[in-house]
Structures are given as C-alpha cells and as structure tokens.
Amino acid sequence: MPSTAHESIMFKDLLGSDEMRAIFSDGSTISAYLEVERALAKVQAKLGIIPQEAADAIIEHAHLQNIDLERYEKRTQVVGAPILPVVEEIVAAVPNGLGEWAHYGTTTQDIMDTALVLQVRQAFEAIERDLTKISRALQDLARKYRDTPVAGRSHRQHALPVTFGFKVAVWLSGIERHRTRLAEIKPRVLVGQFGGAAGTLASLTEHGFAIQDGLMKELGLRTPEATWHTMRDTLTESVTFLGLVTGTLAKIGCDIALMMQTEVGEVYEPFLPGRGSSSTMPQKRNPVGTEMMMVAAETVRADVHMMLGGMVQDHERGSGPYKFELIALPRAFIAASAALMHAVDILPGLEVQEDRMRKNLDATHGLIVSEAVMMGLASALGRQTAHDIVYDACRAAIERDTTLLEVLRGMPEITQHTTDEALAAMCDPGNYVGLAGEMVDQVLAACND
C-alpha cells in the first residue's frame, strides 16, 4: 500500500486532484518521453537525417502499451536515469531493427526536459481553468456583498468597519494578478530542450537548428535561444508561481477558517453531512477545505526551496541537482491542485451570515467607530482634542458596560457641537466603510472576464 500522504487512500483526495496526479504519473511521464522521441524521428526523417521508414515505424510502435514496464523499471534502477531504458524499449518494440534510429543525436536530458515541459503545459491548463472558476466565484461574492458591513480586523482585533464585498475583492485582486502572471510566464516556461550531450548540437551541427526548430513546432513549444541543461530558472519560476498562488489561497483559507470560529460565525464552508465532524463532539463543524488550502501552501513553499537549490548546477551538464525537480516539481503541482480544488469547491457555496456580521460589529457597543466620531468632531474641536475626548468616552463606555453613543450623549463638550441625529449616524458602523464599495467596483472592472 502507498506510504506517502499524497498517494494514501486516506488523504490523497484532500492533498491533490486526480487530474494533476495523472499528469505527473509514471504512465504520463513515460508517454511524454515517447511523444518527444516520436516527434524527433518525424522531424529528422523530414529533413532526410534518418530513413522515413524508420520514422514511420518509430511513430507507430513507440507507445506506452508497447513498453515492458517491469523490465523498464528494473533497467531504470540500474542505469539511474529513465531515458536509456526508454530507448532500449523502443528498439525492442520497433521491428526490423528500425528502432535503432530513435534518439538520434539527442541526449537524456533533452528528452526529460522537453517531456517535463509538456507536462507543465498540461498542468498550467488545469490551473488556468481553476483560477478562472475561483475568480468568477469571488466576483459573484464581491458583487453581492459589496455594501454588507463587517468588522475589519487588525492583529485579530476589531479595527474599523469594512464590507464583506471589500474583503472578497482584496482576495480577488490577488487571484487576478496570478491569472496575469500565468499568461506572462507561459512563453518563458513552455520552451523545449534539444542541445545534445553538452548542449552545442555537435553531433548534428549541419542540421542542429533545423531539427531543434522543427521539433519544437511539432510539439507546440517555443524554441530555446540557447540550451538550458544547467540553467533551471524557468522551471523554478513555474514552481515559484505555484508558491504565490497557494500563498494567496492559504490567506483566503485562513480568513474563512477564522471567520468560522464559534465566537465569530460570519461565514462557513458549504454544508455537507459529516464534513468536518468530530469523533466525540457532535456539535463540531471543522474547516476542512480551508485547512487543506493552508497545508498545500506549506508543501509548495518547501518545494520552492528545493527548486531554488536545484538551480545551482555545475558546468554544462549537472552532476545531479536537476534531479531535485523529480521530487519537487510534481509534488508542488499536485499540492497546488489541492488548494485550487478546495477553493473551487468552497467559494461558490460559501455560507455568509450577514446577521452575525452585524452582531459582531455591534459587539463593542460602538467602539469600532470611535475614529468616525473623532473625525466627525475634529472640524469643531481640533483633531487632537477630539481624539482625547473620544478616548475618554471609550474608556467610560467600557467601564460602564454601555454604548459609546450613550456616553457621548452625556458629554456637553460634544453635544454642543453636533445634533443627536448626527451623533447617532457617526456611531453606526455601516456608515463608516469609506470607499470600500468603490474599491470593489474597481477590482470588478479590472477582472479579465
């Protein structure tokens, strides 16, 4: 049975999506190697470098179903790298010795890197789709709750009133930047590799660039300006991007989990019978998905660190650090898929408790709008004098366990400068949300769709 959480029947569907695991599975990885080998043979035959008959045979037979996976596994353990055993399997699968023309003039890392980029492209498509779904769910929430007041918090204490739509718009702004980032990094990351043993295409000098360009066109990838065997910034950028995405999703998850606390109760993950249940406390409704979003971010953060370490490569072909990617890159994409998956599940059905938001706003009996009162009186009293008077009023409200408004009504130094109606308006949290609504509108207007 599996021994890691990401493959465990208990946890794998909380820690990653089936889709992303499939993209980076052994079968998909070997299939990607074979896809590159087939494309290479096709291009080389077109250029007259290998016989057309050989290319046709390689294209027909170099497929996963023709690989002896048990033999392939044993050979990979011996060789220590996966491509020579792939080539051996192609030679065995292609009749009449025509498989000998496979892998002509290329090297292990060319095939591994290009195949990995093909997998990253698939993964980017899934991420782009999920980011779009998350964006649309957040747009709906921001629009619906544009003017719904809720306590803004600083150091987890009441700060000033904001609106829930504003809070969501802040989340949304980060997601929109990630969508932009993804579009920006694709041209840098989705670049194939074909350089030969030391990256100079020495074995194919006459046709090297033509093969390289044709191979990338065949695979739908960009052609590199120079071989990047030991320059791993682009793949590292892709994982760093995942760190940013999951960091944002973890922030959203953290906010939701805190708002789900019993004493707060302002939002909840969508209800599902048994979801978040305790084995001994029937009343519990734990924040399962949001916690997994935070776990995913921690996982990816560790993988970013490993990818950065893998950038320190020696000379023209590394002595091993690029193999860090074998661990870190697939795991980062799988973990990121978990955070995205939970966000896609949670956000469209987020349960928003507007009554509880209002109750929490009123929990401090008006103290949350003490700044509003101070600023409302500043023109008549001066800002510092108004601050000191309102400060004393806040302390009195706390000591007497009454509302700020009641204390203010009993202070002649205040009432002589304002009406009771104006004072009551200053003490209404819903009247002191600043330009929250306008900021929501700006974020929504800037959305990609």
Residue count of the chain, please give it.
Answer: 449
Residues 6+ apart with CB under 8 A from 311: 232, 233, 236, 321
CB atoms within 10 A of CB 130: 21
305 annotated active-site: no
Max Cα-Cα span within the chain: 104
Residue of 31, 61, 135, 155 with catalytic role: 155
Backbone φ/ψ region at 287: left (φ over 0), alpha (ψ -120 to 50), beta: beta
The Cα-based distances of 433 to 19, 173, 186, 414 in angstroms read: 42, 19, 39, 23
In SS3 terms, 220-260 reads as CCECCCCCCCCCCHHHHHHHHHHHHHHHHHHHHHHHHHHHC
Measured at the alpha carbon of residue 270, what is the angle toward residues 269 and 274, in degrees to the nearest 5?
A: 95
The rounded distance, in Å, linking the Cα atoms of 367 and 160 is 9
68: amino acid identity, one letter: D
Q: Give the three-state DSSP class for 394.
A: helix
Out of 25, 31, 207, 278, which one is annotated catalytic?
A: 278
C-alpha–C-alpha distance, residues 236 and 295, integer Å: 21
Q: Is the dihedral of CA 332, 335, 339, 342 positive or negative?
A: positive
Question: Would you call 277 a catalytic residue per the annotation?
Answer: no
* DSSP summary character for residue 162: E
Exposed, middle or buried by CB within 10 Å (0-12, 13-18, 19+), for 330? buried
Q: Is the distance from CB of 407 to CB of 391 less than 8 angstroms? A: no
Show which residues are catalytic.
Answer: 155, 278
